Amino acid sequence: MAPKRIMLLSNAVLFLLFLSCQNHDLPYTDRDVFRYNEARNITSLDPAFARNPQNNWAAQQLFNGLVQLNDSLEVIPEIAKSWTIDSTGTVYRFHLRKDVFFHASPAFKEGIPRAVTAADFVFSFDRLLDPKLASPGGWVLQRVAGYRAIDSHTLEIKLKNPFPAFLGLLSMRYCAVVPQEGIAYYGSRFRSNPIGTGPFVFKYWEEGVKLILRKNTTYFEKDDQQQPLPYLEAIAIQFIPDIQSEFMLFLQGKLDFMNSLDNSYKDELLTPDGLLRPKYKDKIIMQQGPYLNTEYIGFYMEADHPIMKNPALREALSIGFDRNQMIDYLRNNIGFTAYKGFIPKGLPGHADQDWVRYDPQAARERIRTFETDNGPLPTLKIATDANYLDLCEYLQREWEKIGVKLQIDVMPTATLRQAKSSGKLELFRASWIADYPDAENYLGLYYSKNFAPFGPNYTHFKNETYDSLFEKTFLIKSPKQRYALYKKLDSIVMTHHPIINLFYDEAVRFLQPNVVGMTMNPINTLNLKRVKKE
């Protein structure tokens, strides 16, 4: 074993010993503590910086907002016990619970926590919008005209224009409530000294090594039998960057949970059909479910290549490779072939019909017809990062069979992101993960007023009918009618081909067999308040 791996495993053992020696006031057992590794590290425990899954997962345990999502992606109460929306669809009035308290902290007088009020949400929203803080989450309030505390337990938010997806936006941890006293006391150190209202409280963080959260014994939510949540006494997160070491620790039972499936061990765990290998069936629980992420290839519609001017050629590329084979060969059948629209599986508005078929003969004929009239097609250039090189190489081989040459340009992820925004790429591999559970989040990528770099329309697709219908969705109160219009918008995208759908992602988790109560939802949040170990 390499010295680096020995050192990482030694750190993991020391971490477990550290945990067992902490907090002598609670008799920890293995059943009390939920343990997982975060290979990507956590950069902040402040919900205003919950911009990536690792930060968001920690914030999910520490903080609450006005509303939350259930596993069906329905908005349900959290700190707000109820709410009303006026007839214009622009004024939201939230009625807050009176039994929600901040975690105990020296930031409060004599360390005694106090109840949350509507004024705390006003403060938290002001902070989120403060340019001095420079939170990446300020955009969630860009449609808000104003907000105010009507009284200590009534909050009013007024939008500039109707936006039916607004409640989903509020479920994001960016919108969690924080106490003014905590910000005043800790300042910039609030990132490592968080004070929330969530099911777990902050205990210890040695950055890059370990993070410990303890049970909030005064948490306000209860289960269906009116038993207080959470069940666990503690959460222990370690930060081992080596994925193979994480996998070994999980197999040894030293981690309770492992998120996602890495190429380095996918063939060890899974058969080519995506099933657990027989030797692991009784030792590991595998959870799978739709993940709101569409992987795609984008065309920059203003590029000079002839394919950008010809939707028939773009469709030829789309029908010129086998998505089923791609998923099977590259991902052990994890994921869903994207023959339908851009809106992913698991989200209302997902297409009912296939818009794409695999037909390499028709694709070749279209390429030949074009070249007969116009001469050979120039080589097409695609940009990607190293994580998706194998996928682009697969497309390169398949498209060569239909007469299209593809040059692959591998870039650092940050460089790719910048080039994509600035319109310097004629073809690029990309993905879109839902920020909030409404298809508007996906359809905004093709609205002409969202042209990159000022919005997410990286393809610079423009269609007047599309723009008109997209704006109409904001005025429709009926979810059923809005979802029908979403499908119409999606069909416009799929028939004009500014992108090529590759696959809809699938979330995969692995658990120890004694872990119960862990559920999944299509935005892949980690909610541990109902989890227990038997």
CATH at residue 153: 3.40.190.10
pLDDT for 7 equals 41
Is 318 domain-assigned? yes
Is residue 342 domain-shared with residue 407, that is, in the same domain? yes
Q: What percent of the chain has pLDDT over 90?
A: 87
Is 275 domain-assigned? no
- C-alpha–C-alpha distance, residues 387 and 328, integer Å: 17
pLDDT for 22 equals 42
Is residue 33 domain-shared with residue 168, that is, in the same domain? yes
| 3 state SS of 165 | coil
Domain count, the chain: 2
Is 261 domain-assigned? no
Q: Which helix (H) or strand (E) holds 455?
A: none
The answer, yes or no, to whether the previous bond of 453 is cis (omega within 30 of 0) is: yes
- Asked if pLDDT for residue 62 goes beyond 70, the answer is yes
* Cβ atoms of 288 and 506 closer than 8 Å: yes
Q: What is the CATH number of the domain that holds 321?
A: 3.10.105.10
Extract the tokens encoding 82.
């109820």
DSSP conformation class of 457? B
pLDDT digits (tens, 9 = 90+) for 483-510: 999 999 999 999 999 999 999 999 999 9
Domain span at 112: 3-256+512-533
Is 276 domain-assigned? no
Is residue 181 domain-shared with residue 320, that is, in the same domain? no
Is 480 domain-assigned? yes
Phi, psi (rounded to 5 degrees) for 105: -160, 150
- Asked if pLDDT for residue 391 goes beyond 90, the answer is yes
pLDDT digits (tens, 9 = 90+) for 420-476: 999 999 999 999 999 899 999 999 999 999 999 999 999 999 999 999 999 999 999
Is residue 214 domain-shared with residue 326, that is, in the same domain? no
* Cβ atoms of 81 and 98 closer than 8 Å: no
* Cβ atoms of 256 and 55 closer than 8 Å: no
Is residue 361 domain-shared with residue 215, that is, in the same domain? no
- C-alpha–C-alpha distance, residues 191 and 443, integer Å: 34
DSSP conformation class of 451? B
Is residue 480 domain-shared with residue 519, that is, in the same domain? no
Is residue 16 domain-shared with residue 141, that is, in the same domain? yes
Q: How confident is the model at residue 17 (pLDDT cuts 50, 70, 90)?
A: very low
Is residue 418 domain-shared with residue 520, that is, in the same domain? no
Q: Which helix (H) or strand (E) holds 464?
A: helix 464-472
Is residue 394 domain-shared with residue 524, that is, in the same domain? no
Is 262 domain-assigned? no
Is residue 495 domain-shared with residue 524, that is, in the same domain? no
Provide the whole-model pTM: 0.87
Is 264 domain-assigned? no
- Asked if pLDDT for residue 93 goes beyond 70, the answer is yes
Is 279 domain-assigned? no
Place of tokens 């019909």: 353
Q: Which helix (H) or strand (E) holds 373?
A: helix 360-374
- Asked if pLDDT for residue 351 goes beyond 50, the answer is yes
Is residue 324 domain-shared with residue 428, that is, in the same domain? yes
Q: How confident is the model at residue 167 (pLDDT cuts 50, 70, 90)?
A: very high
pLDDT for 332 equals 86
Is residue 88 domain-shared with residue 207, that is, in the same domain? yes
Nearest to 246 by CA among 229, 227, 233, 265: 265
pLDDT digits (tens, 9 = 90+) for 245-295: 999 999 999 999 999 788 888 889 999 888 999 999 999 999 999 999 999
Cα 109 vs. chain centroid, distance in angstroms? 38
The answer, yes or no, to whether the previous bond of 437 is cis (omega within 30 of 0) is: no
